Structure 1
Amino acid sequence: MKDGNLDSIDKRILYYLQQDARRTSSSDIAERLDLSASTVRTRLNKLENSGIVRGYHLDIDYDLAGYPLYTKIICTAPVPDRDSLASQAQEIHGVTAVREIMTGERNVYVNAIGTDHDDLNRISKDLDALGLEIVDEQLIRDEYVCPYHGFIDEGDDPAPDDVDEVETE
């Protein structure tokens, strides 16, 4: 399997996994696609081994978990150092995600959580100490993740119960 060369079955497997990977078994997907569970497992293994499926991640409500403040910190890094600074930023206590942006001055986005404003200030100071210039900070109310519908061909219509299973917390 070459990267990016997914057939319609692989795309549909990805679509169903995006909705709720934890509660979706290969048997569930096989039933929806009218395939055998072993075929779905084989294809899923190939998607994992090729690096297309990089992992299965929790969607945590940090507010309910005791971290009521969620922020996006937008930084500028010198382009030659961007990769290493983004990697180092991941090690800062409270950082939950780091994105490298390929264009523009605002080229590193850091998501972080904290119990209070002192936590967020500490994280900002730690990022600054690494050499990331903070350009903007945004306090996030909530974030919603949804499946990419492009994995389903326009003519395909997911089963009616698929819509009900997508959570929008």
Structure 2
Amino acid sequence: MVDEPLDNLDRRILHLLQVDARGASDTAIADETDVTGTTINNRITQLEEKGVILGYNPEINYEAAGYPMRVLFICSTDLSRRSEMAEQALEVRGVVNVREMLSGEENLHVEVVAEATTDIKQSTEQLDELGLQLVSSNILAEEHVQPWNHFHQELVGEPDALSDRESTEK
């Protein structure tokens, strides 16, 4: 968790990284934000150290990579074991994503990528062996993702000029 709230510069950096993390060099972000590359580098390092930026992951077209099967398993487990089961599910062959739901019966969503239905069957068996109750499964056709667009919006009442912290980093 962050010790202090994000300011406009932090939010703009996060937005630009979401739009294109690979192409967003310190210099390119500096040009967009009107601060120095050093300031951007320092801010990104701080955001990483605070756990705001967790990593940089490529978006994969699994079908183009030879893995046309994508299945979303809706599972149930005891709420007290949900995090433990999520970690164990990540070890199952083909699992690329596990989402923990806050509450309810269908509290783990497990995404599996595979080359063929036989691979999906193997993953299903492994999830069952973990003790997860498989409620339903759905073949995923397409996924549409976009950057969260509120990072770049300024808060009402917040000055447009650089804050004291930003001006000292220049």
* TM-score normalised by the chain length of structure 2: 0.87
Structure 1 position 82 matched with structure 2 position 82 = yes
CA drift of 1:124 comes to 1.0
| C-alpha distance 77-154 of structure 1, shift in aligned 2 (>3 A) | same
Q: Identity over the aligned pairs, expressed in percent?
A: 37
- Distance between the aligned counterparts of 2:71 and 2:4, measured in 1? 32
Identify the residue that residue 28 of structure 1 maps to in structure 2. 28
Work out the number of aligned pairs and report it: 155
Q: Is the 8 A contact 1:62 1:68 kept in 2?
A: yes
In structure 2, runs of 5+ residues without a counterpart are 156-170
User: Radius of gyration: which is bigger?
Assistant: 2
Correspondence 1:63 to 2:54? no
Residue 112 (structure 1) aligned with residue 109 (structure 2): no
Counterpart of 2:98 in structure 1: which amino acid?
V
The structure carrying a bigger helix percent of its residues is: 1
Shift of residue 23 of structure 1? 1.2
Q: Which residue of 1 aligns with 2:124?
A: 124
Q: CA–CA distance in 1 between the matches of 2:84 and 2:149?
A: 33
- Are the counterparts in 2 of residues 72 and 109 from structure 1 also a CA contact under 8 Å? yes
1:3 is displaced (CA, Å) by 5.1
CA contact (8 A) 2:98 2:108 kept: yes
Give TM-score scaled by structure 1 length.
Answer: 0.88
Q: Deviations over 1:78-126 (max 9, x none)?
A: 1111111110000111000111111211101111111111111111111
Task: Tell me if 1:7 matches 2:19.
Answer: no
SS where residue 22 of structure 2 aligns?
A: helix
Give the superposed CA RMSD: 1.5
SS of residue matched to 2:17: helix
SS of the residue 1:99 aligns to? strand
Deviations 1:129-168 (A, max 9, x none): 001100111100111221110112169xxxxxxxxxxxxx
TM superposition shift of 1:70: 0.6
Residue identity in the other structure for 2:58: L
Give unmatched runs, 5+ long, in structure 1: 156-169
CA distance in 2, matches of 1:99, 1:126: 17
Give how far 1:2 is off.
2.5
The answer as to whether partners of 2:79 and 2:103 remain within 8 angstroms in 1 is no
Aligned partners of 1:24, 1:145: CA distance in 2, in Å? 18
Asked if 1 retains the 8 angstrom alpha-carbon contact of 2:2 and 2:52, the reply is: no
